[in-house]
């Protein structure tokens, strides 16, 4: 017998929980859903575009009747639950039907607050909450002319805008002197008001209602200052209250909302609650992003996995009035100890304000130019240290050393046929269509359906903006810390911590003991786990080659036609005639299809068949060459210039220093690839300032630069420090590498890592703190002991992993 | 009637890995899951002919090494939202020996 799960409230949070639950554990429960509204679950957020006439009801349905049938979820539409017998574990409907449950989920949402002024119950006085309200408003707009919206918050303004677009004359009455005062400061509020006035809305600010006039139906409003205006319809949008009526009645502990713990459980352990009706750690939420997070956590517990915890959410707001760009998040007033950065250009209609406390963004208000909203929001959620980029912060992400493709990130202004994802050739329209037609909510969804942002990832920000723009609400926003992948709720940092604490030795052990949802993990988590394992316990961990991508598994780069390329190491870019002879001989012997000098100062042999690899490697090994690791998330190359050995400007011996660096660091596995360069003088012919570590020699020593990147997003290095001797260069390089190896997340290159943790942090850890630097250096050298064994010689001469290179049989 | 062909011992295929069988009709990838189930697919991704034998095996799926499409090992069907199908062949294990049949499923 399956257990019975009953959901009260067929809305966004409750149904999201069911969807998440079905993903985790499709067969655990018999599920019944009671919904007071006579529809399937729809996207309440999009009621505003429906009111504006931009969308119709069918387009905003999330789960239609067929969905419930297909997923064997029983939907009781138009049925309100009026009682719960918690002893007998039974719910009761308004028409006296009963239903038993083993687990109950309450997701009754909110009720709009109606100000109890005289006349509030007259016909024509409505709220803005559900389809029925929107139907009433659209009907009214066909017969009448004058609408009054009480409340100048998000909802009120969206209602007013919609009614205006339906042809009504609309006045917005607001108690305060600023619109959306919970999200906007005075300046932004004023700018918003004037652009709405230009569109034809009227405002009565700092005005409170005394009475609603009329007989049966409303005809006007009287205000406390004596003023009267006529009104055929009054929309009250002054706030919402968690809908806790039912829960309270049956004795479930409530304060402002139904009180739940971090597992979304109420005080009755059989009863869970999610959504706007819930109060968690003293907070209630009225936006979907946090509710969807709650849904995920709740599903995890309903599925009896039992490890996820909800820790509260940071939210951000966008007004869904087409043509008005407004973004607000967090604390936008600040306290005595906070700094305010602001920029105001009234002629262009731009206003930006960022609140910073202890170098961390606490809040942001953007008006007119909201392109960077998601960026600020992400940094705010990450609590990123912004001291190093403070000067450029207001000008936006495009101004932070990012001269790459990021410059074109005006999602809203992009033409439909503009290419968003260069790797997969996905245009903006492909994405917007998929969002609408396939009802996508998240970045993951868009990736899966359109492939956009699923390859190199450089367009991720843009895709997120398109999502936010298309959906209005910021519910695409990624939660503060993302899980490693769909197999777990644990974040990269959680997993790392667990690996540090427990002596795991194999990827599968981690997957089993940390309760992965999938049996064997997936191609996203397994390589990450394997890396964390071998970098944390280099001595004990077993390197699991089945958890490595093909290139690392066979130590060569797979090519589009299934052949492989082989790039031997040329230490510091130096090469001898003997080595060149050997390479040439090998190229002839194996009839290499193509040879090429790579961007990393060495030679690529292309088009080799897999079966040939061990022989090629044996020959290279005999000639004294080792793997170049051009295939690895690991140390790649050290690029050098000719330096003081030859160059008339050279200040130090950059070639030989490059060789020393490469001999020390080769074969190291890192979270993402890692490249070095040494230039002999500030002319910087080795392009050291776009490398993960770049050494620029100067007369008095060596400048160390870190966090450069020449690839998808060009980023110039940050200056770390200057040192005096070659030994210092080696020690600092090893320490930096080790810090990166121990702390960055898998597939995070040094550039984004530094932007996340801040240069100051890195300086504190390894420049200021000499002891720690030496310890890092030591740990690095120790781990190198286990890996500096040439994988090519192993396979070419010592017959390791031969099964990779031979067919099992020929038939 | 199936024509079973012995291709080797089970432990010659790594767990969560694959081996290639060369045949006149092109390569066949033989996969082994973590539960020691064995599946055989034509070694060509329906997308752009990536060699599925070189992918990462997880559950009863393999992720293609070139662009990460997932293919169901049992049926050869590409996992949604991508679309396509790789030919699949029957397999069986007897006394730790792996057999495949070339009559396509
Ligand atoms: C062979 C080479 C091109 C060439 O013919 O010159 C090359 C080839 C590839 N690069 Fe590169 N990159 C090569 C130098 C570079 C450089 C130049 C450099 O190192 O000075 C860059 C920019 C510098 C940088 O990394 O900051 C570069 C930035 C990338 C990127 C973007 C990385 C980024 O952080 O933005 C990728 C994609 C990735 O790694 O995710 C990439 C990925 C690739 C891959 C591995 C794509 C793939 O997954 O198959 C290519 C493998 C082809 C193959 O099998 O041989 N390659 N790649 C170069 C090998 C250098 C070497 O000797 O090891
Ligand atoms: C017009 C509008 C625009 C919005 N725009 C945004 C936006 O841009 N961004 C954003 O993030 N959020 C927005 N929101 C808020 C968002 O829609 C809500 O936060 C979200 O819908 C709340 O989900 P919920 O499941 O808690 O409640 P609901 O979605 O309200 O679901 C609760 C359901 O429970 C039913 N119910 C209640 N009591 C019972 C009972 N006793 N028996 C049976 N059924 C019952 C109700 O009828 C309702 O269908 C907007 C809301 C509105 C109204
Ligand atoms: S070698 Fe690099 S730049 Fe050239 S196609 Fe491959 S990944 Fe792109
Ligand atoms: S060839 Fe397999 S995913 Fe592209």
Mean pLDDT by 10 residues, chain A (811 residues): 94 94 91 95 90 87 91 95 96 95 97 94 95 95 95 93 94 93 87 91 94 94 94 94 96 96 96 96 89 92 89 78 80 83 86 92 88 81 84 77 43 73 80 82 81 73 77 50 85 94 93 92 95 94 95 95 96 96 97 95 96 96 96 97 94 97 97 97 96 96 95 90 97 98 95 90 95 97 96 94 92 87
A237, A159 in Cβ contact below 8 A?
Answer: yes
Q: For the sheet with B28-32, list strands across it.
A: A809-810, B17-22, B28-32, B38-42, B88-89
The total of other beta-carbon atoms located within 10 Å of residue A268's CB is: 18
Closest ligand to C-alpha of residue A424 is 4
B51 CA → ligand 4 middle, Å: 8
Most ligand 4 atoms within 8 A of CB, residue of B53, B64, B71, B81 to mutate: B64
Please give the DSSP secondary-structure letter assigned to residue A537: -
- Give the per-residue pLDDT at A407: 37
The answer to whether A546 contacts B55, with C-beta atoms less than 8 Å apart, is no
The answer to whether A549 contacts B22, with C-beta atoms less than 8 Å apart, is no
- Give the per-residue pLDDT at A225: 92
- Can you name the residues that pair with A669 across neighbouring β-strands? A634
- Give the per-residue pLDDT at A211: 94
Nearest CA, atom 3, ligand 4: B67
Query: Which of B27, B29, B54 is the best mutation test for A, with the most CBs of A within 10 A?
Result: B54
Listed in sequence order, the residues at least 6 apart from A627 whose beta carbon sits closer than 8 Å to its beta carbon are A555, A568, A569, A617, A667, A790, A791, A792
Distance of CA A675 to the CA centre of its chain: 26
Compute chain B's Rg from CA coordinates.
13
Burial of A302 (0-12, 13-18, 19+ CB in 10 A): buried
Is the CB of residue A547 less than 8 Å away from at least one CB of chain B? yes
**A230 is written with which tokens?**
């006529």
> What does the angle CA A144 – CA A147 – CA A148 come to, to the nearest 5 degrees?
155
* Residue B66 Cβ < 6 Å to ligand 4: yes
Nearest CA, atom 19, ligand 1: A600
**Which chain B residue shows the shortest CA-CA distance from A549?**
B56
The answer to whether A448 contacts B20, with C-beta atoms less than 8 Å apart, is no
Distance of CA A527 to the CA centre of its chain: 20
* DSSP H or E segment with residue A280: strand A278-280
Q: CA distances (Å), A793 to each of A65, A621, A797, A801, in order?
A: 62, 6, 5, 12
- Can you name the residues that pair with A202 across neighbouring β-strands? A171
Most ligand 1 atoms within 8 A of CB, residue of A673, A715, A752 to mutate: A673
Query: Which of B36, B81, B99, B103 is the best mutation test for A, with the most CBs of A within 10 A?
Result: B81
CA distance to partner chain B, nearest, from residue A53 (Å):
31
- Can you name the residues that pair with A363 across neighbouring β-strands? A330, A355
Which ranges of A384-442 would DSSP assign to H, the alpha helix? 390-393, 428-437
What is the pTM assigned to this prediction? 0.67
| Separation between Cα atoms, residue A46 and residue A60, nearest integer Å | 6
Chain B residues whose beta carbon lies within 8 Å of the beta carbon of residue A553: 54
A398, A462 in Cβ contact below 8 A?
Answer: no
Distance of CA A359 to the CA centre of its chain: 22
> What does the angle CA A52 – CA A55 – CA A59 come to, to the nearest 5 degrees?
150
**A15 is written with which tokens?**
């149904």
The total of other beta-carbon atoms located within 10 Å of residue A649's CB is: 12
* Antiparallel, parallel or unpaired: β B97-101 and B4-9: antiparallel
DSSP for A694-735 reads EEEEETTEEEEEE--B-SSS-BPPEEEEEESSHHHHHHHHHH
* DSSP H or E segment with residue A249: helix A245-249
Is the CB of residue B45 less than 8 Å away from at least one CB of chain A? no
The answer to whether A811 contacts B17, with C-beta atoms less than 8 Å apart, is no
* Residue B79 Cβ < 6 Å to ligand 4: no
- Give the per-residue pLDDT at A333: 77
Closest CB to B65 among A522, A527, A549: A549
Please give the DSSP secondary-structure letter assigned to residue A477: P
The total of other beta-carbon atoms located within 10 Å of residue A251's CB is: 11
The answer to whether B81 contacts A508, with C-beta atoms less than 8 Å apart, is no
The total of other beta-carbon atoms located within 10 Å of residue A509's CB is: 15
* Residue A11 Cβ < 6 Å to ligand 2: yes
A551, A611 in Cβ contact below 8 A?
Answer: no
> For chain B, how far is it from start to end, CA to CA, in angstroms?
12
Chain A residues whose beta carbon lies within 8 Å of the beta carbon of residue B34: 508, 519-520
The answer to whether B17 contacts A558, with C-beta atoms less than 8 Å apart, is no
- Can you name the residues that pair with A767 across neighbouring β-strands? none
Is the CB of residue B36 less than 8 Å away from at least one CB of chain A? no
A276 CA → ligand 2 middle, Å: 7
**A564 is written with which tokens?**
């492989």
Range A253-257, long-range pairs (CB < 8 A, 24+ positions) = A254/A279, A255/A279, A256/A284, A257/A284
| Separation between Cα atoms, residue A661 and residue A733, nearest integer Å | 8
The answer to whether A449 contacts B81, with C-beta atoms less than 8 Å apart, is yes
The answer to whether A546 contacts B14, with C-beta atoms less than 8 Å apart, is yes
- Give the per-residue pLDDT at A210: 94
CA distance to partner chain A, nearest, from residue B6 (Å):
9
**A166 is written with which tokens?**
């339906």
**A120 is written with which tokens?**
């509030």
Q: Match 């409340």 to its residue by tokens.
A: A151
ipTM above 0.85, yes or no: no
Compute chain A's Rg from CA coordinates.
31
A454 CA → ligand 4 middle, Å: 13
For residue A504, report the phi and psi dihedrals to the nearest 5 degrees: -65, 150
**A776 is written with which tokens?**
């890092």
- Give the per-residue pLDDT at A455: 67
CA distance to partner chain A, nearest, from residue B71 (Å):
12
> For chain A, how far is it from start to end, CA to CA, in angstroms?
50
* Residue A777 Cβ < 6 Å to ligand 2: no
Chain B residues whose beta carbon lies within 8 Å of the beta carbon of residue A545: 14
* DSSP H or E segment with residue A157: helix A154-165
CA distance to partner chain B, nearest, from residue A67 (Å):
17
Options 1.10.3720.10, 3.40.50.1970, 2.102.10.10, 2.160.10.10; CATH of B4-101: 2.102.10.10
* Residue A221 Cβ < 6 Å to ligand 2: no
The total of other beta-carbon atoms located within 10 Å of residue A116's CB is: 7
Closest CB to B19 among A508, A803, A811: A803
* Residue A189 Cβ < 6 Å to ligand 1: no
A388, A401 in Cβ contact below 8 A?
Answer: no
CA distance to partner chain A, nearest, from residue B105 (Å):
18
Helix (H, G, I), strand (E, B) or coil at A153: coil
- Give the per-residue pLDDT at A410: 58
- Give the per-residue pLDDT at A416: 80
Residue ranges with strand state E in A331-370? 339-345, 350-357, 360-367
Closest ligand to C-alpha of residue A567 is 1
DSSP for A68-106 reads HHHTTEEEETT--EEEEETTTTEEEETTS-EEE-SEEEE
Most ligand 4 atoms within 8 A of CB, residue of B44, B50, B61 to mutate: B50
The total of other beta-carbon atoms located within 10 Å of residue A594's CB is: 10
A527, A549 in Cβ contact below 8 A?
Answer: yes
**Which chain A residue shows the shortest CA-CA distance from B83?**
A449
Determine the angle formed by the axes of helices A492-501 and A525-536, rounding to 10 degrees. Answer: 40
Query: Which of B9, B35, B58, B64 is the best mutation test for A, with the most CBs of A within 10 A?
Result: B58
The answer to whether A523 contacts B22, with C-beta atoms less than 8 Å apart, is no
**What is the number of the ligand 4 atom nearest to the C-alpha of B67?**
3
**Residue ranges per domain, chain B?**
4-101
| Separation between Cα atoms, residue A62 and residue A213, nearest integer Å | 39
The answer to whether A809 contacts B22, with C-beta atoms less than 8 Å apart, is yes
Chain A residues whose beta carbon lies within 8 Å of the beta carbon of residue B20: 807-808
């Amino acid at each position: 017998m399956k257990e019975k799960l009953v959901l009260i409230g067929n809305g966004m949070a409750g149904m999201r929980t069911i969807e998440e639950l079905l993903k985790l554990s499709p067969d655990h429960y018999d599920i019944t859903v009671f919904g007071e509204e006579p529809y399937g679950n729809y996207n309440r957020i999009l009621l505003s575009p429906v009111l504006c006439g931009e969308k119709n009801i069918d387009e905003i349905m999330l789960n239609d009747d067929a969905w419930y049938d297909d997923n064997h979820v029983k939907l009781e539409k138009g049925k309100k639950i009026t009682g719960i017998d918690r002893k007998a574990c039974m719910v009761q409907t308004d028409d006296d039907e009963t239903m038993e449950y083993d687990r109950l989920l309450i997701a009754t949402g909110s009720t709009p607050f109606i100000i109890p002024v005289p006349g509030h119950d007259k016909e024509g006085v409505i709220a803005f909450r559900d389809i029925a309200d929107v139907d009433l408003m659209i009907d009214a707009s066909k017969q009448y002319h004058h609408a009054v919206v009480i409340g100048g918050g998000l909802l009120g303004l969206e209602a007013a805008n919609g009614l205006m677009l339906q042809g009504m004359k609309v006045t917005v009455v607001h108690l305060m002197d600023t619109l959306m005062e919970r999200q906007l400061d005075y300046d932004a509020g004023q700018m918003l008001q004037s652009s709405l006035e230009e569109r034809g809305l009227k405002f009565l600010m700092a005005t409170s209602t005394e009475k609603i006039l009329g007989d049966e139906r409303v005809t006007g409003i009287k205000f406390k200052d004596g003023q009267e205006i006529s009104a055929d319809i009054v929309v009250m949008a002054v706030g919402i209250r968690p809908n806790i009526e039912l829960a309270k009645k049956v004795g479930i502990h409530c304060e402002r909302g139904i009180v739940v713990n971090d597992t979304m459980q109420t005080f009755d352990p059989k009863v869970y609650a999610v959504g706007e009706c819930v109060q968690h750690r003293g907070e209630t939420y009225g936006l979907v992003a946090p509710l969807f997070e709650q849904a995920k956590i709740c599903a995890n517990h309903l599925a009896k996995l039992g490890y996820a915890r909800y820790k509260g959410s940071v939210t951000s707001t966008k007004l869904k009035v087409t043509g008005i760009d407004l973004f607000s998040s967090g604390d936008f007033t600040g306290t005595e100890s906070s700094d305010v950065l602001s920029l105001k250009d009234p002629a262009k209609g731009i206003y930006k304000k960022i609140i910073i406390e202890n170098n961390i963004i606490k809040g942001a208000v953007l008006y007119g130019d909201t392109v960077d909203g998601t960026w600020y929001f992400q940094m705010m959620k990450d609590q990123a240290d912004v001291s190093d980029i403070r000067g450029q912060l207001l000008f936006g992400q495009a101004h932070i050393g990012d001269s790459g493709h990021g410059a074109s990130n005006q999602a809203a202004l992009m033409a439909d046929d503009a290419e968003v994802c260069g790797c997969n050739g996905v245009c903006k329209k492909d994405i917007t269509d998929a969002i609408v037609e396939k009802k996508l909510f998240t970045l993951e969804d868009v990736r899966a359906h359109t492939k956009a942002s699923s390859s190199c990832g450089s367009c991720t920000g843009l895709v997120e903006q398109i999502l936010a723009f298309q959906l209005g609400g910021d519910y695409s926003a990624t939660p503060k810390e993302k899980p490693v992948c769909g197999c777990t709720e644990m974040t990269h940092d959680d997993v790392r911590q667990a690996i540090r604490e427990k002596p795991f030795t194999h990827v599968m052990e981690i997957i089993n003991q940390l309760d992965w949802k999938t049996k064997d993990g997936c191609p996203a988590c397994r390589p990450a786990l394997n890396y964390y394992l071998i970098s944390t316990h280099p001595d004990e961990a077993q390197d699991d080659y089945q958890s490595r991508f093909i290139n690392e598994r066979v130590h060569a780069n797979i090519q589009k036609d299934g052949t492989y390329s082989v790039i031997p190491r040329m230490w510091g870019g130096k090469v001898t005639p003997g080595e060149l002879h050997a390479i040439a001989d090998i190229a002839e012997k194996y009839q290499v299809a193509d040879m090429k000098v790579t961007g990393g100062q060495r030679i690529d042999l292309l088009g080799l068949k897999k079966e040939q690899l061990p022989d090629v490697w044996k020959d290279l090994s005999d000639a004294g060459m080792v793997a170049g690791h051009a295939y690895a998330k690991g140390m790649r190359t050290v690029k050098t210039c000719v330096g003081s050995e030859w160059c008339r400007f050279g200040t130090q011996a950059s070639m030989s220093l490059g060789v020393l660096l490469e001999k020390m660091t080769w074969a190291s596995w890192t979270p993402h690839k890692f490249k070095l360069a040494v230039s002999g003088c500030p002319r910087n012919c080795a392009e050291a300032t776009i490398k993960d570590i770049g050494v620029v020699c100067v007369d008095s020593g060596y400048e160390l630069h870190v966090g450069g990147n020449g690839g998808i997003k060009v980023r110039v290095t940050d200056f770390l420090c200057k040192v005096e001797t070659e030994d210092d260069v080696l020690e600092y390089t090893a320490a930096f590498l080790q810090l990166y190896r121990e702390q960055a997340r898998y597939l995070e290159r040094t550039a984004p890592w530094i932007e996340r943790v801040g240069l100051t942090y890195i300086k504190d850890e390894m420049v200021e703190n000499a002891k720690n630097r030496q310890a890092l250096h030591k740990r690095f050298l120790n781990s190198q002991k286990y890996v500096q064994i040439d994988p090519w010689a192993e396979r070419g001469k010592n017959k390791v992993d031969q099964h990779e290179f031979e067919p099992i049989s020929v038939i | 009637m199936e024509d079973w062909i012995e291709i080797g011992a089970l432990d010659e295929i790594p767990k969560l890995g694959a081996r290639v069988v060369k045949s006149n009709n092109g390569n066949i990838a033989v996969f082994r899951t973590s539960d020691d189930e064995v599946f055989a697919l034509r070694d060509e991704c329906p997308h752009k002919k990536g060699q599925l034998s070189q992918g990462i095996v997880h559950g009863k799926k393999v992720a293609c090494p070139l662009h990460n499409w997932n293919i169901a090992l049992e049926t050869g069907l590409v996992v949604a939202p991508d679309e396509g199908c790789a030919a699949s062949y029957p397999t069986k294990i007897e006394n730790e020996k792996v057999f495949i049949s070339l009559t396509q499923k």
